[in-house]
Structure 1
């Protein structure tokens, strides 16, 4: 029998010393639980993705020193460790097998993804050979992440004699992606009859969140081990006479729980890994800032979160009351700063230049920019990071103000459609012991920017159910306006939304990074030209 420990842990990009210590700690726990092999995630030594650190020769030298240090300090258990490697003038995404203080084998990733958020062909050369090693009395093959997503590398390992395949992964999450991973790996197992163990990274890295959810698939294509999502964990799998067995059987999360957990982990790791002292959030009395505040408090603790309400003459009393109620329940620090004096100053300063011109969105945007200035001043003074509160629906159509509500360092719900914002708000309320944290008023009232009298979002935008469906079809699925209209969405709304989406690109290029939870977010995997005269197919 071969006992394999699966270590899904939270590696930090560039923290070679810290990552080595985490692997050593996992190895000690694995040994204590009787494991003979420890499997780690893809590029566990360096963290993933290292991006342009991989263009630095000194980075590879540092990774090699860290790998040597790791090998010298672990004995009594074999390690399968992911790391960047420079070999014979080429750079590789590699996995080394370490036994008894030395490297006994190296696998170099064959399939290099170059789509969505991945740029591995920018940095690495592909490997070409299978790697099968004997651990205990079992012939074990090694694959890395994208190797399993199409035929070739997995089958190559099996043809080389693998009885079991270990797969190192840094697979960023989007909602329900764990189903896709199980399906794809199941296809490889079905084609070869060889079972597999899949180890995934966990943690937040800039806009990406890695959800863990490591698993094993036996020779009957059944999932026989699953680790929790969004948590560090060490799982144990036994391989005995061709069969996989495990006592680790975590249940998958619901879609709402998965999305909310991703947001919480993304905020916690971005603030924690970058060294900011906490978070500042501008409350509006609306649902977006309410959800963002809940995420921040759940991620960081109330003591590290500062909420600021900045009422104008157009702010409803209900907005103030609901915000105060949320603060009462969450317990974070809170201030109210009226912006009417600043509005009057701006009006006086600009009056000679605006003479004879009607009021328009300019005056509305000034209010948002006053608020952005206040929040950034507090950030500078306290060392806390401003979290912006705009959602994906608004980002798509430019329903946001440059240097106003877009001002900040991290966009928590940037990839959350407005319709999902409502679902997540209701989900968060189910986690409460007593009264709902987000008042029902905030959830049911018509959304409004409150920048002029009686303003409603739907004065300027289609209903959010329609808007989100159009954005999803155009932006995530690359469907043409003609196809979207043919699917039953109103032509006038499609034309309007597509136009807004296109002309807002210059705004999105200046937006802070934010957490990605869909298959395509406005970030690393959306790269449309700002200067663009392509005419869509209608």
Structure 2
């Protein structure tokens, strides 16, 4: 469903040369993978016999029994769509090949030989095996059936994005892994049958190879390595199993298990296809016509019955691990400050002007402005913080704005906009008791006008505060807070801003940290409507348009992967089932789609600002869309 498939890697208990025992272990693990709803399960290299049989591979009895066991294991797949990928020695035209067998629906569908044979230190595979590069045949006769045999095989379930290629152990370690070519020809899944022994630090290196190859090929990569029951004469095998997806490690087992082991993870093959189409360098790597492959049809494979929460984080812009999150936030803050410092240096402006409201966005902007001045060796009072109280301002946000500028050491001015707004209402003939969009936007534009004029007066630049979430929804006033001279938050979603401020607070003096913590705890509001009788915020943004954590979730999948609305709703229900009912999620998604399409005209003339992640909405490079585009197709 929606391109999701569950992939598995299995590490069986083995006995070197005991084909009957090994077959039973592989059958057990295959059935377990099928019960989990896996579309495919990969076993280690030469798993029918064991990898460390040495010269026993030259014994005809072992060769024959291994082939018989492979046929039996293939029969085990009858009645199930789950694909089994396992290893055995295969004799073809007097040569012996280290081979992967691909079985489904009771049959062996294809055979793939190992390309690169290690012949160094403890490995002497060339003593027993021949490289797949030497294979002259393209087919193998197996009990009266012709089975495709070669390095050029792609296995594909018709009418689905499920398409995979296979390589074996050392192939991944080579300068030009076969998986790179297979990916260019359409394989979105790559499987590796491995028998890599354990050495100090090698597991980390192997993990990084898998992760990097999945990123380089924009694919899902699954590796299963031989386990501890291989011969320990000279080396020890750990049985590492890895599943990676486009550079992200989804699952890894615990090595050195002395029992059958199985891991599984869900991948989104539709998403990988979308990334390949949007990553222009992928298809330019090699002219596709120069790469010949044979496509081997598979029967229907099971789609993932559901998806795991780990694969579908509810806050995709925010790293779940606190250490990773802190590191990411420090890097983003550095990018923002470097961008603003570059603009300040290039324009030779005398200073920076920031409207400071006591809310999240303006707080981040002034923190970045002060840091950019530090980078240039300028004092903090190069930044002019301006608070502009209006009809909706509360004591809490006003006091926090004043304290923030004081503790940061910026220059500070306070300009009350209420009198000017009342004059403007009179000029327009607008009743100030009518709290409509005119009432709100007069205040937003008055603030921007003052900031721009102050920048002219001081020879400075106005630093914009609007964030990515607001830009996506058009939750800003055209030519009001929509406009600035450099928008430092333009590619930062609302769900991440609290963590960026929290990162600064963790390293700040106590007084400043206390103010930042209170700002983080303040409800999001434009503060354009009068507060309650108790002086608290009445106009809470998320009560009007829906939670930003949902909107950011929608934005991530809509922009990064081009996901269809039905799929986005499904993902959101999976990620947020314990917090929001399905009806609420779908209603909020409709709000997101309507606003995203209607507000493109604001994005078409948004100011410059630094891109800090993979998603941004700059009309100059990241997102180009006609202002008149209709949302009807997405709202069906």
What secondary structure is seen at the aligned counterpart in 1 of 2:381?
helix
**How many angstroms apart in 2 are the aligned matches of 1:356 and 1:517?**
41
Give the greater-gyration-radius structure (CA).
Answer: 2
- Structure 2 residue 426 is matched with structure 1 residue 426: no
Gaps of 5+ in 2: 1-180, 186-209, 219-322, 375-379, 531-537, 574-581
Cα distance, 1:186 vs. partner? 11
**How many angstroms apart in 2 are the aligned matches of 1:287 and 1:461?**
18
- Structure 2 residue 630 is matched with structure 1 residue 533: yes
**Native 8 Å contact 2:593 2:631 kept in 1:** no
Cα distance, 1:522 vs. partner? 0.7
> Which residue of the partner structure matches residue 98 of structure 1?
none
**Alignment deviations for residues 204-238 of structure 1 (CA, whole Å, 9 cap, x no partner):** xxxxxxxxxxxxxxxxxxxxxxxxxxxxxxxxxxx
Cα distance, 1:357 vs. partner? 11
Gaps of 5+ in 1: 1-147, 153-178, 188-250
Q: Structure 1 residues 357 and 433, CA, compared in 2 at 3 Å: closer, same or farther?
A: closer
Q: Structure 1 residues 356 and 280, CA, compared in 2 at 3 Å: closer, same or farther?
A: closer
What secondary structure is seen at the aligned counterpart in 2 of 1:473?
helix
> Which residue of the partner structure matches residue 404 of structure 2?
326
Cα distance, 1:507 vs. partner? 0.8
**How many angstroms apart in 2 are the aligned matches of 1:390 and 1:356?**
26
What secondary structure is seen at the aligned counterpart in 2 of 1:455?
coil
> Which residue of the partner structure matches residue 447 of structure 1?
524
**How many angstroms apart in 2 are the aligned matches of 1:433 and 1:398?**
36
Cα distance, 1:273 vs. partner? 2.3
Cα distance, 1:181 vs. partner? 7.6
**How many angstroms apart in 2 are the aligned matches of 1:429 and 1:280?**
22
**How many angstroms apart in 2 are the aligned matches of 1:360 and 1:473?**
33
Q: Structure 1 residues 396 and 186, CA, compared in 2 at 3 Å: closer, same or farther?
A: closer
Q: Structure 1 residues 182 and 480, CA, compared in 2 at 3 Å: closer, same or farther?
A: closer
- Structure 2 residue 559 is matched with structure 1 residue 475: yes
Q: Structure 1 residues 456 and 534, CA, compared in 2 at 3 Å: closer, same or farther?
A: closer
**Native 8 Å contact 2:386 2:413 kept in 1:** yes
What secondary structure is seen at the aligned counterpart in 2 of 1:436?
helix
**Native 8 Å contact 2:392 2:529 kept in 1:** yes
What secondary structure is seen at the aligned counterpart in 1 of 2:632?
coil
**Alignment deviations for residues 277-321 of structure 1 (CA, whole Å, 9 cap, x no partner):** 221000111111011100110111413211100101321111121
> Which residue of the partner structure matches residue 521 of structure 1?
616
Cα distance, 1:455 vs. partner? 0.9
> Which residue of the partner structure matches residue 354 of structure 2?
281
**Native 8 Å contact 1:520 1:526 kept in 2:** no
Superposed counterparts of 1:144-163, under 5 Å = none
Q: Structure 1 residues 422 and 450, CA, compared in 2 at 3 Å: closer, same or farther?
A: same
> Which residue of the partner structure matches residue 257 of structure 1?
330
> Which residue of the partner structure matches residue 493 of structure 1?
588
Matched positions, count:
301
Q: Structure 1 residues 470 and 433, CA, compared in 2 at 3 Å: closer, same or farther?
A: same
- Structure 2 residue 543 is matched with structure 1 residue 459: yes
**TM-score w.r.t. structure 2 length?**
0.44
**Alignment deviations for residues 246-289 of structure 1 (CA, whole Å, 9 cap, x no partner):** xxxxx998111111111111111122123222210001111110
Match of 2:369 among 296, 304, 310: 296
**How many angstroms apart in 1 are the aligned matches of 2:355 and 2:361?**
10
**How many angstroms apart in 2 are the aligned matches of 1:380 and 1:180?**
51
**Native 8 Å contact 2:432 2:439 kept in 1:** no
**Native 8 Å contact 1:386 1:409 kept in 2:** yes
**How many angstroms apart in 2 are the aligned matches of 1:374 and 1:503?**
28
**How many angstroms apart in 1 are the aligned matches of 2:436 and 2:327?**
44
**Native 8 Å contact 2:408 2:512 kept in 1:** no
**TM-score w.r.t. structure 1 length?**
0.52
Superposed counterparts of 1:40-119, under 5 Å = none
**How many angstroms apart in 2 are the aligned matches of 1:526 and 1:432?**
36
**How many angstroms apart in 2 are the aligned matches of 1:266 and 1:181?**
29
Cα distance, 1:480 vs. partner? 1.5
**Native 8 Å contact 1:279 1:305 kept in 2:** yes
**How many angstroms apart in 2 are the aligned matches of 1:445 and 1:513?**
28
Match of 1:373 among 434, 444, 449: 449
**Native 8 Å contact 2:502 2:516 kept in 1:** no
**Native 8 Å contact 2:597 2:631 kept in 1:** no
**Alignment deviations for residues 35-79 of structure 1 (CA, whole Å, 9 cap, x no partner):** xxxxxxxxxxxxxxxxxxxxxxxxxxxxxxxxxxxxxxxxxxxxx
Cα distance, 1:462 vs. partner? 1.0
